[in-house]
Structure formats: structure tokens, C-alpha cells
Amino acid sequence: MRGTRVHRVGAVLGVAAVGLASMVAASAAHADAQDFGNIDADRTGSLTVHKYLHQTGDVEGDISAPPAAGDFTDPVADVVFTAYPLLQGGVPLDLSIAESWDGLEDVQAGAACTAPTGFTLGTGVAFDPTDAQGAATLALTVGAYQVCETEAPAQIIDRSAPFIVTIPMPFENGWVYDVHAYPKNGAGEVVKTIQEQQDTGLGSVVRFPVTVPVPVSNDTWTGFAIRDALDARLVPVASADVAVTADGAALDASYYTVDVAGQQVTVNFTAAGLAWLNQGPNAQAGSEITVVFAGTVVEVGDGSITNQAELWTNNPGFDPAVRPPLPSNEVETHWGSLEIIKRASNTSGSQGLLAGATFEVYNAVAPYGADCTAAVADGDPIAVDGETTFTSVAGGVISIAGLFVSDSENPAVDALQRCYVLKETAAPAGYVLPADPFTGVAVRIGETTTADNADIVNTQQGVPGLPLTGANGQIILITAGVGIAIVAIGLVLMKRRRERTLTE
């Protein structure tokens, strides 16, 4: 998915599902008992669990029948419940004996699926995973059971509290053997995005805001952490530079710690932060906690750098076997490397390749134009890995490793190329700068080869023509020599004529 994406997930968040009294109270007024009179100890009943996200309406579940279409929304699939018989003295509780019912309504399910006080748990029997409608059914013999949520997909940020159920359940002066339970659910979400990229050269910082609305919970918060494991091509910023807010205002710094361990950055609520979360009945529910994780780009690699955060709730030990984290949506930032050829005019192939030309690189006014050759430079020169000047090397290649192309959140979303502008600031010796030193180039995700853009050419410097060279110089010399010879012959003839005149 692209754009701002929201992962809405079923979260049981400790909202206890059903006890004996609450199940009766939650039943619809029109429901009927399935049987009356004495308990049939030989009868096989069932328990059907209906798993939904937290409901905001007034519809209540009916323990004697499944919900009607439209009663509830947002079913949760692939959740596994397990039923454990309640044992006393190592044997299942016998509900055909009157004394077995004494005090049963006050039995509290053991936290974390431990046995209730005064009981042990027998061998558990697992339900099939809940289906697309959030339902799963298990056949059960007459007895008392503790039911626990024992497996859940990663999107479940908390497991429902264990609950006690009997087969049959007392109801409306009769008995219900096929029981329907409705574990209460909360909803959690983790929204990840990318701030619009300001600096566009290698060595720039990419920022990933992660927003988590505090979920509804009837349990005491024992842990609340947001974690991000940055790609190896990003160096995490210092812990002091990780911004944390609640509803847009800076969160009290005593409410959390920031730990940077290698590529992993964790914002973990302290005892003071958990106390703030636990104020009143869900006093902070809905408050948006935003953490801006950030890393410096130090390498491009294949050009696409992915990022995903996690929310850890009521799991202070960060043990995924206890409760897996809720992942955010995944976002990507895309980068490229530019190579382009510098050559002498009227050359091609391996001829005329020029080293020693220097360049600056600029953002383009319209970076996502269809034709980068017309790109116009914008702003100041870009620093790439701390450098602002780039020189063509032997073979005429101008190489700039690390320029931003696009990301999965901001326009143009996931664009495959971005326009930049090269400015030639000094030509190689013996060549002149072009009349227009700016050249628009396209940078693609990953590696932009020299064939992806037109060559940048230089013309040679002009010099005075050398005298007496070439065919014209030879003609001038011959002509001048003939003239001199004619003058010399003329002088000799004149001299002889004078001599004859004098002798006569």
C-alpha cells in the first residue's frame, strides 16, 4: 500500500470478555433458554466465541444465539482460544452436584491464563482459529472451563482476558448448552509516514513520524513502547534528537526514555508515563502519541530503503512469544546515483573523453518534469556526502553517489526518476565552458548509468594561427623568394649597364 496507510487491528487490550454474571447481563431480552429442569450431565454442549474489534454501539451479545447480521462490525480472524477444565482435587468440577455451584459466580479467571484461586487447570482443548466472521466453535461436555486466548496474529496488539464459562450456562430460569461468548475488543492503529525530504544529497537525514492513538483498555497499562529498527543504510540520530509528542505538544520527557542500540531505536514509557496512561478510566484513550524516528543516509545500495515501526503493549520484556508487537505500515524512501560522460565536441566512443571538468549539482524547479533536459536549477548547490564540487575522472565520468529520487508518501509518490541540474564551473585545460553551463539530468532509483543521459561536451580554446605553416605558407615563401630574385637580377643588370657607359 502507498500513501498514508492505517493498520486497524483487533486488540483485546485487557477488556475482560465474559464471566458468569456478565454473560447473563449481556444477553438480549428476547432470548430463550434452550432447556429447563435438571442438568443433563450426559449432554454435549458447545462454546462459540465471536471475536470483534471494540464496539461503540448499544447492541449486546446474546449467549443463547449468534449475533444477527449487522449487530457488530470488524470481525477478527485467525485468533485461537483454548478451553481448560477447572479441576478440584485433580478431577473436573462435577456440575451435577449442587455443592459444585456454590461460589462459582465469584470465581475469577487467573491472569495470564493461570488457574483461578482454589482450582487447577486440566488439559486444554484448542478451538479452530476464528473464521472471517470472527467466530470459532468447540464442542464441550458438561463442566466448568477457563477459556484463554492462546494464539493471535501479529495485528492483535493484546489478548483478551481469560474468562470462566459453564456448560450449561444458567439463563432465564433455564439452561443454555450451546453458549455464545463475545470477548470485548479494543482497536489499535499504528500510522507511519515520511516527512517531505528537504535535503536531497547523501548524508541527509530522513525522518519517519509514527503516530499511535492510545487504545481503549480496561486493564492497567504495564508497558507501552514504540520501536523502529532502521535499515543498515541509515545511521540513527542521537537519542536526544528523537521528538515525541502527544496531540501535537511535546510529551513530558519524564514519561519516556529513548534507547538507541545499533539500528534499533526504542521509545519506552517509564513508570511516570504508564501512570499518565492509567489516569482514570481510559483518560488518555485516543491521545495521539507521535514519535519521529530519523536516520542519516550513508549508502544507496539498490536505492529503496524501507522502514517499519512496531507498537509493544503490556509486554515490558519485549517477548514476542508473550504478545507479538503490532507492526505499522511499511514506507520507502528512494535514492539514486548519477554517472554522466564529459567529452570533447565532435567525438564519440572512447575518443575525446575529458577528465578535470568540475561541476555543482542543483535541485530542479520542477523535479518531476517529464523531460529533464529542460530542467532549471533551483536554490543553492547540493552537498552530497559533504562535497559540493564533483570532478570528471579518467574516462570522462562525472559520478555523484547519492541523490534523493522519491518516497512512498509524498508527491510524486514512488516516482522512478527525479530531475537535477549540473552546472559546469571549470572546464578541462585547453577547453572553454559552454555558453550555458547548466545541464538538466535525470536520476533514477538505484544506479543511473552514463547511457541514461546525454553527454556534456566542451569545445577547444582558440589560439593564434602559426606563421609559415601549411600550403599557403609555402606559396608565400615561394612568391617572396621569386620577388627577391627578380630584384637582385635587376640590380645586377643596372650595375653592368653603368660600367659599360663609363668605359665608352
Weakest-pLDDT range from 235-244, 381-390, 430-439, 470-479: 470-479
pLDDT at 61: 81
Element holding 129 (H helix, E strand)? none
pLDDT in tens, 58-106: 677 889 999 988 888 888 899 999 999 999 999 999 999 999 999 998 9
CATH of 335-458, one of 1.10.10.10, 3.40.1670.10, 2.60.40.10, 3.40.30.10: 2.60.40.10
Pairwise CA distance, residues 470 & 468, whole Å:
7
Of 494 and 45, the structure prediction assigns the larger pLDDT to 45
C-alpha 313/C-alpha 318 separation (Å) is: 9
Is the model more confident about 402 or about 494? Answer: 402
Q: Kindly list the domain boundaries of the chain, sorted by start residue.
A: 44-186, 191-332, 335-458
Q: Prior bond to 464 cis, omega within 30?
A: no
Omega into 412 within 30° of 0, i.e. cis?
yes
Task: Tell whether domain 44-186 is in CATH 3.30.565.10.
Answer: no
Exposure string for 206-229, b = 16+ CB within 10 A, e = fewer: bbbbbbbbbbbbebebebbbbbbb
Assign 219 to helix, strand or coil.
Answer: coil
Same fold, 44-186 and 191-332: yes
pLDDT digits (tens, 9 = 90+) for 433-461: 999 999 999 999 999 999 999 999 999 98
Instruction: Kindly tell me the sign of the dihedral angle through the C-alpha atoms of 345, 349, 353, 357.
Output: positive
Q: How many CB atoms lie within 10 A of CB 234?
A: 22
C-alpha cell at 58: 448499544
How distant, in Å, are the alpha carbons of 88, 181, 203, 320, 435 from that of 169?
20, 11, 66, 35, 92
At residue 50, what is the residue type?
Answer: H
Q: In this predicted structure, what is the pLDDT of residue 69?
A: 87
Residues facing residue 166 across a β-bridge: 144
CA 465 vs CA 429, 433, 468, 474: distances in Å: 19, 22, 9, 15
CATH of domain 191-332: 2.60.40.740
